[in-house]
Amino acid sequence: MTACPDWQHRLQGLIDDELDAAHAAEVEAHVTTCAGCAQARDDALALRRRLGGEGVRARAPDRLLARLDAAIGAATTTVPVRRSTAVGRFERAFWAFGGAGAAIAACAVLAVMAVPALQTADLEHQLVASHVRSQLAGHLIDVATSDQHVVKPWFGGKIDFSPPVVDLADQGFPIVGGRLDYIGGRTVAAVVYRRGRHVINLFAWPDRKALGPDEAKLGDGYTLLHWTKGGMTFWAVSDVAETDLKTFRQLAEDRSPA
């Protein structure tokens, strides 16, 4: 009993979610009438489950990580390089030629917009750095549990606020654990979720004011989403697909207390 050769490619497309709705419906209809293709699909899904199992995916040994770290160090100059980006040139030109009026106007603009924007950019950078660090150093979680009722009290003894810890496992975002981190000059709570093989760090700290744009997509393969609710500021950082992270935000926002 084998899969039909004619359907082979489309069947893979269905398994890998690479088909548009019309084609997916077509293949699904075929699979209901063809035992061979149904078997091939079930086999592929079972294989996927096994490949996601414990110890199947190899992790880089510490020795290798140390070598990579050394290689980066060796490839980096020790002399601070003068910034020569377009922004730097613009700034220099601005201060060289701008009149007093322009300077005053610019100060006002900067005070209102640019400084918060810069702070936000720096904050985003720190969040991404924390997300990256958390995956590198085996420092992902301080408390490892899939139980929200364990994570929340764990934070209770360590920080002066109580971050909401919502269970999203039924929506495909199981909790992995929690940890403390230091972002933007304060200790923040990070609840770690998983989506497939991707990790989502959900940072939370008390702050009512909304900052920056509602969403910020960094070019480095990481997406950041931000929202405020119940007096808390939340940042979700991950390399999952942007649509997944938006779903995650929606769910987390809906389920956290107002």
Partner 1 sequence: MAAGASAAQVVEARFPAENRRDSLVLTPTPASAPSPLSPDEARRFREVVLPHADAAYNLALRLARRGDVAEDIVHDAYVRALAAFRGYRGGDGRSWILTIVRNRFYDWAREQRLKATAPLARPANDPDDDDTDWDPPDLEQDSPEQALARKGEAGALHALIDGLPARWREVLILREMDELSYREIAAVTESPIGSVMSRLARARSALAAAWRKREADMAEASS
- By the criterion CB under 8 A, which residues form the site for partner 1? 2-3, 8-9, 11-13, 15-16, 18, 40, 43-44, 46-48, 50-51, 53-61, 63-65, 67-68, 71-73, 75-77, 80-81, 128-129, 132, 135-136, 196-198, 219-222, 239
DSSP-derived letter for residue 238 is E
Q: How far is the CB of 96 from partner 1 (least distance, A)?
A: 24
Nearer residue to partner 1 within complex by CB, 178 or 239: 239
Q: How far is the CB of 200 from partner 1 (least distance, A)?
A: 14
Nearer residue to partner 1 within complex by CB, 219 or 257: 219
Nearer residue to partner 1 within complex by CB, 83 or 158: 83
- What are all long-range contacts of 138-142, with beta carbons under 8 Å and residues at least 24 apart? 139/179, 140/176, 140/177, 140/179, 140/192, 140/199, 141/176, 141/177, 141/178, 141/179, 141/192, 142/177, 142/178, 142/179, 142/180
Q: Which helix (H) or strand (E) holds 129?
A: helix 115-136
Q: How far is the CB of 227 from partner 1 (least distance, A)?
A: 23
Nearer residue to partner 1 within complex by CB, 69 or 254: 69
Are the C-beta atoms of residues 219 and 168 closer than 8 Å to each other? no
